[in-house]
Amino acid sequence: SVTRHYKFDIKLKNVTRLCTTKSIVTVNGKFPGPRIIAREGDRVLVNVVNHVPNNMTIHWHGIRQLQNGWADGPSYITQCPIQTNQSYVYNFTIIGQRGTLFWHAHISWLRATVYGPLIILPKRHAPYPFPKPHKEVPIIFGEWWNVDTEAVISQALQTGNGPNVSNAYTINGLPGPLYNCSKKDTFSLKVKPGKTYLLRLINAAVNDELFFSIANHSLTVVEADAVYVKPFTTNILFITPGQTTNVLLKAKPQYPNATFLMLARPYFTGRGTFDNSTVAGILEYKEHSNSSSSTSLKSPLFRPILPQINATSFVANFTSKFRSLASSKFPANVPRTVEKRFFFTVGLGTNPCPKNQTCQGPTNTTKFAASINNNSFALPSVALLQSHFFAQSNSVYTTDFPTIPPKPFNYTGTPPNNTNVSNGTKVVVLKFNTSVELVLQGTSILGAESHPLHLHGFNFFVVGQGFGNFDPNKDPPKFNLVDPVERNTYGVPARGWAAIRFLADNPGVWLMHCHFDVHLSWGLRMAWVVQDGKLPNQKLPPPPSDLPKC
Ligand code: C2O
């Protein structure tokens, strides 16, 4: 293993999409940002230098950061932001993980433009558990706003209303030919007849779960969230923000003189406004790999068929196909016994409109909020991890996060009259190595939506899921403890629940949140504090000397 050095200069750059030019925050002037490539076992050093007026942090989404929370990145959780003209070196070693992840800004809505692939190759000479692909191609989905995204979220938080929806979805930063004034900004995947390609799909969209398909081609899923899965073949893929999926694409043996569109558009069940448009890229056959003709739409033009916008049963069926390899080489280390059980409701709610303000929330006296067990998580003004490490948590956070809902109700039925949530910076404290089972119950308050929940610092096993209210007697006996999928992000179904298990073997403070930034901003987040173990290799070491100060 080696040490890989990267430099991230955070700077502004004028970028034009849909005939609109705006100045965006970028890494090294690139949109999407640069790829990080490393091997399992490597150490990665990224020197982030902030040249923009905004505060910045970067999160290495899905990297476990064992005993290394100082490099995790969520602002005010594990670190104070990197201020203008300051820098911080993220220093982490990749232990026991290989596959596709991504990195993104973890402050306000800056991840709308600050994101890029994080690719972990297996150790040298360690083969993939599937045939070696001819080429590997990252495909990263995003969203594009014609206006400044920081203005979108601050206006939404001020008015209490939902934020403006994006103007386009993108593939590798490009909206594609189905949007006005966008034909030249089309992603093209050039393939050679008969060859197999590994597509590394990443959903970096800000607020939308996506369906994806390539006309006349099927995809074989082989990995999710940097964990191998039992291969399965599908024509249509579903991916939530925060999830990554590796698929194999086999190019047809004959050279077809046609254009195959690849399309992605959202899955959406909630109320309110959303962008139901479609991003397109093209799959182009090339007989000679170095013939560099420009992207062209040839007829016949084949278009894949995507599910309906609210195709919840497709989503449930698709997500249930993911299974761990659970082989001797890649075992599924599912916690067999459970020491702590938690039941968390996840969903929307309201906060009262502040006295001196006019709100345009669900009613004009309320603004939108989102919560876990009716607690909308308030960000502190210092970082929780430092407060924890230096035992200075007193005025920063409390340890009384509700581990069951304050009042039970029919979570997926008629919502209660009082939709107000309470606010606070509350955490759950876990002893080192506690095995945790957590049931995440979606609610239908202000509309039933699915919530892609992301856990920092751990992978978890999805041992069960279902529609309606979780039944503590009938559902647990059906849990899959043999080969459940291991992930870092999972969509809690709309009008349903998911049960996950993880082992709290990583001391530190770890954020868990909905990976829709709109829900994250509204408070759908909480933090786990995992205490040190007794042995030296079970403790969180002191912070690096360049850790930013608030
Ligand atoms: Cu990908 Cu806390 O985020």
Q: Is the distance from CB of 212 to CB of 243 less than 8 angstroms?
A: no
CA terminus-to-terminus distance, the chain: 35
What single DSSP character describes residue 544?
A: P
Mean pLDDT along residues 192-219: 97
Report the 3 state secondary structure along 474-537: CCHHHCCCCCECEECEEEECCCEEEEEEEEECCCEEEEEEECCHHHHHCCCEEEEEECCCCCHH
What's the pLDDT tens digit per position in 43-100?
A: 999 999 999 999 999 999 999 999 999 999 999 999 999 999 999 999 999 999 999 9
Distance CA 477, CA 465 (A): 12
Asked whether the beta carbons of 12 and 28 are under 8 A apart, the reply is: no
Q: What is the mean pLDDT of the segment spanning 148-154?
A: 96
Ligand 1 site, residue 104, Cβ cutoff 6 A:
yes
Peptide bond just before 362 cis, omega within 30 deg: no
Q: Determine the Cα–Cα distance for residues 497 and 345; give it in Å rounded to an integer.
A: 9
Q: Structural domain boundaries of the chain? A: 1-125, 130-324, 340-538
* 92 closest CA partner among 50, 48, 49, 158: 48
Identify the pLDDT of residue 294.
Answer: 63
- 138, exposed or middle or buried, with CB in 10 Å at 0-12, 13-18, 19+? buried
Quick one: how far is CA 14 from the chain centroid?
A: 26
Q: Which of 368, 378, 379, 372 is nearest to 347 (CA)?
A: 372
Helix or strand run (H / E) with residue 151: helix 149-159
CATH number of 130-324: 2.60.40.420
Token digits of residue 480: 């899959």
- CATH fold for domain 340-538: Immunoglobulin-like (2.60.40)
pLDDT in the model for residue 97: 97
DSSP state of 220: E
- Which structure tokens are listed for 70? 């100082």
Write phi, then psi, for 388 (nearest 5 degrees): -65, -50
Beta pairing partners, 27 = 10, 30
Which protein residue's CA is at the shortest distance from atom 3 of ligand 1?
A: 61
Of the chain, the percentage scoring pLDDT greater than 70 comes to 98
Angle (CA) 437-426-531 rounded to 5° is 60
Section 379-398 average pLDDT: 96
In the predicted structure, residue 283 carries a pLDDT above the cut 70: yes
Binding site membership of 511 for ligand 1 (Cβ less than 6 Å): yes
Task: Judge residue 287's burial from the number of C-beta atoms within 10 Å of its C-beta, 0-12 exposed, 13-18 middle, 19 or more buried.
Answer: exposed
Indicate the pLDDT class of residue 290, thresholds 50, 70 and 90: low
How many angstroms separate the CA atoms of 149 and 146, rounded? 9
Strand pairing partners for 7? 47
CB burial readout 486-504, b (16+ within 10 A) else e: bbbbbbbbbbbbbbbbbbb
Q: Average of pLDDT values for 115-130?
A: 97
Lowest mean per-residue pLDDT among 152-156, 425-429, 475-479, 507-511: 152-156
> pLDDT tier at 274 (50, 70, 90 boundaries)?
confident
Ligand 1, atom nearest to 73 Cα? 2
pLDDT exceeds cutoff 80 at 296: no
The domain over range 1-125 is classified in CATH as 2.40.170.20: no
CB atoms within 10 A of CB 54: 18
Confidence (pLDDT) at 187:
97
pLDDT for the residue numbered 96:
96
Of 497, 501, 505, which Cα lies nearest the Cα of 484? 501
Which ligand 1 atom is at minimum distance from the Cα of 102? 1
Pair 236, 414: CB distance under 8 Å: no
CATH topology of 1-125 equal to that of 130-324? yes
**Rounded mean pLDDT of 129-138?**
97
Both tokens assigned to 316: 């449930």
pLDDT of residue 545: 98
Q: What is the mean pLDDT of the chain?
A: 95
DSSP conformational letter for 84: T
- Rounded to whole angstroms, the Cα distance separating 436 from 461 reads 11
Q: Is residue 160 lining ligand 1, measured as CB closer than 6 Å?
A: no
pLDDT value at residue 275: 78
Q: Is the pLDDT of residue 267 over 90?
A: yes
Tell me if 61 CB under 6 Å of ligand 1.
yes
**Ligand 1 atom showing the smallest separation from residue 242 Cα:** 1
Alpha helical stretches, state H, 320-400: 384-389
d(CA 187, CA 140): 11
**Closest ligand 1 atom to the C-alpha of 513?**
2
Q: Backbone phi, then psi, for 317, in 5-degree steps?
A: -65, -45
Q: Which amino acid is at 63?
A: I
In our burial notation (b when 16+ CB lie closer than 10 A, e otherwise), range 115-129 reads bbbbbbbeeeeeebb
| Tokens describing residue 485 | 């999928």
Weakest-pLDDT range from 20-24, 289-293, 336-340, 527-531: 289-293
Between the CA of 260 and the centroid of ligand 1 the distance, in Å, is 33
Local structure of 144: helix, strand or coil: strand
Print burial letters for 159-195: b (CB count within 10 Å at least 16), e (below 16): bbbbbbbbbbbbbbbbbbbbbeebeebbbbbbbeeee
- 269 confidence band (pLDDT: 50, 70, 90): confident
Q: From ligand 1's centre to the CA of 407, what distance in Å?
A: 29
Residue 483 CA to residue 326 CA, distance in Å, equals 6
Is the pLDDT at 365 greater than 70, yes or no?
Answer: yes
- Minimum mean pLDDT among 38-42, 443-447, 498-502: which range? 443-447
For residue 216, the CA-to-ligand 1 centroid distance in Å is 34
The answer to whether 157 and 113 have CB atoms below 8 angstroms apart is: no
Most confident of 136-150, 285-299, 345-359: 136-150
Residue 454 near ligand 1, beta carbon < 6 Å: yes
